[in-house]
């Protein structure tokens, strides 16, 4: 299956401002790209790429005053297989976890593991460990939180989600992540493209968030918002929470004026295969 | 100058629990060690060392039920020179900052840069950029926050410090760090030994916290708690905030029953110089 | 000047629920009414009126399952004089304040006087006491907070307004109230009708909030949102904050489906004057 | 049974400051007094008594610079009967509650009913209404929160208690109150004397807090901290939460230097019975 990925984002920039974009497909998916994945920037300014401590591809630049447009279209090949489900995947005792997963047990800006620890134990401590416990977390969050774009709020933390019970996709994942970490299951935030392949939904208007947990020697995808296996996720970045993997971060004023994201299946015959 | 560093920490462990310790001197100071710096653990259990994403030396192990003792004494050579002061150190525009400093501009668990951003601009936006602005941040925090061990509180964030105006050394640094980041100055939390060399203080009863900011192509030490150049800091770890660099993190119950830290100048003639 | 006041509010009630409405003009304005001010309720259910501890007229009832409509139109005579401005009004030392104003110096749900105390002193402590200090508070809040209906949020407190700097009219007043109380100036929240008389605004779509402070032996109107004297306020209720004077409080689910408020000047000749 | 009640409180006052004291026994217990209950103040300054909106006896004065001492000893006759237990006391539907109880269903500074509403329903919604539901609230709070004087913190709210699980007696009551209100059971905070009559405790060092709920046409005493019927409570004040009924409120700096409270049974024969 081939999926066309693209975005078209515009800002009005009142004064020159440094920005970082996470708009490249994640290194783990680069082998699947079937077209170049290079951000176009207008006006053209020098771009610098680098990899952050979480392994994500970042692009930084200084946006000049005026209208700034970031856009791209690329093509990715996808297995067409829904997110894996592995009910017998076991939970590792912390002592067995790989070193590099331990950071995903700790607190982060939007995931107050410390303050949600007792609550997580009360809610999920009696659930048998492993895949089912993570699924129980997702089921709980999915059932208790009411989705609404009007509920988007930049500073909402996992604890706020727990009390307020409203939010957008990032809020669902933050609460689920905090619960998993409180249960000693490494969990990290993921952002990327998620089209409507195989689901009767309206087209996506935004990038999507999900999360990953480490069970049985690997990272697995969970999604407390959709809470059902999906086809065609194209990962951009993972990190501790949304603070680490903002699509764009501007170190000064930058007013978003246009935002369009596309992730749609395309016909294999129509797909072009430029060398990359 | 030679400084003897040491700690003696005991826990009562109700059930086997995985722990991570950051009790090794930071790699940047390893060349200055004049004695081995190996944590002793009693009872003896296998120790695994690794370096985290921030570059700190970590030691992990599974503590068995019962009394656990972590201890060590080592010796470090120190320049005896107080923390550098460089009033002309300039502030970098974000566009010029090295890639690996950018993470220290972002939010973290105890430093809500997003929520303190307007406040930082109001308080320090008119201060000329550079060293003086960071010093102004430290002066403000030092003057406004009242120290008291009885004010120690595990969940206090920079915003809480800003409103409550009480705290211990970590609280001072968290608020100063959040202000610096909000002003687009990379700032990271540091933990280590800080004796009373050259100051008429009572001996330290704890590890100390300070912070580092990136100005004029390098990281510099600031300390909003003491707010005066000090001699003999021995760095252990740096990270986004205290959540990243806890001296010990236990993934389950571990009750602290003894805690002693030493950092004292020793006579060169008395200092032993085993090969390391 | 005559002002027609009215509202038309509908709820869908999933199950019988007790409600309290504060939809009557405040007792202090009853002498100005030129038409009856009786809430119509459909379906007709028994209404009980009472006065709360703050002196407001409340109406309670049990709403049956189904559609509930609360509506009314009344007529009030208004001086047509803008809110009084009295720059020489003096501030009372707390020791001189009337007993019944003291409660308006204390904390309340949305006004964390305790946590905003130091901040208020830093911002306004040097401003000469009296009317000018309250005006300085209003000027600051008005300048710093950005209005937007999309920013309405039920749980936002004064401290949240201080950090987030966005809100609707109630948020402006909460922050101003908390600052005044922290400065030892009694301040209370007010809700009522505020039309667009004399101002080039779009018609009001909601009830409005303002606040009152006690200076120079009386309560005065301030409005940190509009921050300019206005004509035609018709007070409904005063209390510590929005929690005390919700237009409607339902002790169970009640889904708002229609909300219309009118406050418009009418021709004296057209105004009917039924005996009341 | 006769109980001697008394207090001896000293402040250092850096500059003249207005204060309000709630140190008189509550009007409901005045008939039980067997000695005068007049606060002594040294130095002697004019005292003004008044009753607040919650029905409590308050005393206000302006403390001069220097040492301020508030003290008193009085005698109260007590039934000697433990707090009433009435397992069949029924819960009123809100529609049936007396008007003046409704305020005790609302939010207050330290009891965020709004934010704890879903949590309360999840924890106690399935418990049969009435006395048993309130007892279930107390049992939960008593079991989950760890007492410690070192955990006293002035700004801790019910939500903080719910997450942090530590506190002093006021914290227990705040969380229980918020839960009860979220369940539509009127609940108010109470402060007063509570000696160790009938319990093997160390003598009280402080005033105590408990709370009252309205069930079956009357207010009943509950105490989530002690969670067992006690003898000899001498009520001072009730209000929405601790913010309303602080023992002393100072509108400026006042540093507590001495605090002693006594509530002890005395021999009837030794008790003096002056006319009052």
Between CA D173 and CA D20 the distance in angstroms is 23
Between CA B178 and CA B176 the distance in angstroms is 5
pLDDT of residue C205: 65
* Residue A160 buriedness (CB in 10 A; 0-12 / 13-18 / 19+): buried
Rounded to 5°, the CA angle C186-C190-C195 comes to 140
Q: Which of D144, D159, D164 sits opposite A163 (nearest CB)?
A: D159
Which stretches of D79-195 are assigned E, i.e. beta strand? 146-147, 166-167, 187-194
Q: Which of C53, C105, C155 sits opposite D115 (nearest CB)?
A: C155
Please report residues of A whose CB lies closer than 8 A to that of C256: none
pLDDT of residue D170: 97
pLDDT tens-digit profile of A242-257? 999 999 999 999 999 9
Between CA A236 and CA A53 the distance in angstroms is 14
Q: What are chain A's partners, defined as 3 or more CB pairs within 8 angstroms?
A: B, C, D
pLDDT of residue D276: 42
Please report residues of B whose CB lies closer than 8 A to that of C119: 162-163
Q: Chain C interface, mutation test: which of A153, A159, A167, most C Cβ atoms within 10 Å?
A: A153
Closest residue by Cα to residue D92 from D15, D5, D184: D184
Q: Global pTM?
A: 0.93
Please report residues of C whose CB lies closer than 8 A to that of B115: 163-164
Q: How confident is the model at residue A276 (pLDDT cuts 50, 70, 90)?
A: very low
Whether B118 contacts chain C with CB within 8 A: yes
Q: What is the mean pLDDT of chain A?
A: 94
Closest residue by Cα to residue B248 from B21, B57, B40, B17: B21
pLDDT of residue D267: 84
Please report residues of A whose CB lies closer than 8 A to that of C150: 150
Q: Which of A155, A163, A164 sits opposite C164 (nearest CB)?
A: A155
Longest dimension (CA), chain C: 56
- Residue identified by tokens 């964390």 is C112
Q: Which value does ipTM take for this structure? A: 0.92
Between CA C234 and CA C211 the distance in angstroms is 13
Alpha-carbon distance C118 to nearest alpha carbon in chain B (angstroms)? 7
pLDDT of residue D76: 97
Which stretches of C126-267 are assigned E, i.e. beta strand? 146-147, 166-167, 187-194, 208-215, 218-222, 233-239, 248-250, 255-266
Whether D79 contacts chain A with CB within 8 A: no
CA distances D70 to C251, D194, D220, Å, are: 43, 19, 31
Please report residues of C whose CB lies closer than 8 A to that of B111: none
Whether B139 contacts chain C with CB within 8 A: no
Whether C62 contacts chain D with CB within 8 A: yes
| CA nearest to C98 within chain D | D50
C269 pLDDT more than 90: no
D236 pLDDT more than 80: yes
Q: Chain A interface, mutation test: which of D163, D166, D182, most A Cβ atoms within 10 Å?
A: D163
Instruction: Write down the H helix ranges in B106-251.
Output: 113-124, 131-144, 158-164, 169-182
pLDDT of residue C270: 62
pLDDT of residue C218: 98
A234 pLDDT more than 90: yes
pLDDT tens-digit profile of A145-191? 999 988 888 999 999 999 999 999 999 999 999 999 999 999 999 99
Whether C164 contacts chain B with CB within 8 A: yes
Whether C183 contacts chain D with CB within 8 A: no
Alpha-carbon distance B194 to nearest alpha carbon in chain A (angstroms)? 26
Q: How confident is the model at residue D7 (pLDDT cuts 50, 70, 90)?
A: very high
pLDDT of residue C197: 75
User: How many B×D Cβ pairs under 8 Å?
Assistant: 6
User: Taking residues B102-111, what's their average pLDDT?
Assistant: 97
CB contact under 8 A, B115 and A155: yes
B273 pLDDT more than 70: no
CB contact under 8 A, C114 and D155: yes
Alpha-carbon distance D65 to nearest alpha carbon in chain C (angstroms)? 14
B275 pLDDT more than 50: no
Please report residues of A whose CB lies closer than 8 A to that of D145: none
User: How many A×B Cβ pairs under 8 Å?
Assistant: 86
Residues whose CB is less than 8 angstroms from the CB of residue D207 and which lie 6 or more positions away in sequence, other chains included: D7, D191, D192, D193, D194, D236, D247, D261
Between CA A154 and CA B117 the distance in angstroms is 13
Kindly state the tokens that stand for B158.
């920079």
Q: Chain B interface, mutation test: which of C120, C143, C161, C163, most B Cβ atoms within 10 Å?
A: C163
Alpha-carbon distance B162 to nearest alpha carbon in chain C (angstroms)? 9
pLDDT of residue D272: 59
pLDDT tens-digit profile of C100-123? 999 999 999 999 999 999 999 999
pLDDT tens-digit profile of B174-213? 999 999 999 999 999 999 999 877 766 555 568 999 999 9
pLDDT of residue A197: 75
Please report residues of D whose CB lies closer than 8 A to that of A159: 163
Give the pairing of strands C166-167 and C146-147: parallel
Residues whose CB is less than 8 angstroms from the CB of residue C111 and which lie 6 or more positions away in sequence, other chains included: C157, C158, C174, C177, C178, C181, C240, C241
CB contact under 8 A, D118 and A144: yes
Alpha-carbon distance C37 to nearest alpha carbon in chain A (angstroms)? 35
* Residue C252 buriedness (CB in 10 A; 0-12 / 13-18 / 19+): middle
């Amino acid at each position: 299956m081939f999926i066309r990925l693209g975005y078209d984002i515009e800002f009005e920039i009142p004064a020159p401002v440094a920005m970082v974009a996470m708009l490249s497909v994640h290194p783990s998916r680069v082998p699947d790209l079937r077209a170049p994945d290079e951000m176009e920037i207008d006006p053209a300014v020098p771009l610098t790429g680098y990899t952050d401590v979480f392994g994500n591809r970042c692009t930084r630049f200084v946006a000049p005053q005026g209208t700034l447009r970031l856009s791209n279209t690329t093509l990715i090949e996808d297995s067409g297989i829904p997110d894996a489900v592995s009910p017998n995947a076991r939970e590792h005792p912390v002592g067995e976890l790989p070193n590099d997963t331990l950071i995903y047990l700790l607190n982060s800006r939007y995931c107050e593991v410390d303050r949600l620890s007792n609550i997580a134990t009360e809610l999920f401590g009696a659930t048998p460990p492993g895949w089912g416990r993570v699924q129980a977390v997702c089921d709980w969050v999915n059932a208790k939180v009411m989705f609404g774009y009007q509920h988007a709020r930049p500073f909402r933390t996992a604890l706020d989600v727990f009390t307020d019970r409203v939010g957008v996709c990032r809020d669902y994942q933050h609460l689920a992540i905090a619960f998993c970490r409180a249960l000693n299951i490494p969990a990290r935030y993921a952002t990327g493209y998620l089209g409507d392949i195989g689901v009767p939904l309206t087209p996506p208007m935004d990038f999507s968030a999900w999360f990953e947990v480490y069970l049985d020697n690997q990272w697995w995808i969970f999604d407390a918002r959709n809470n059902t296996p999906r086809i065609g996720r194209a990962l951009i970045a993972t990190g501790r929470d949304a603070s680490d993997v903002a699509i764009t971060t501007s170190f000064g004023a930058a007013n978003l004026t246009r935002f369009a994201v596309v992730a749609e299946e395309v016909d294999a015959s129509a797909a072009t295969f430029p060398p990359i």
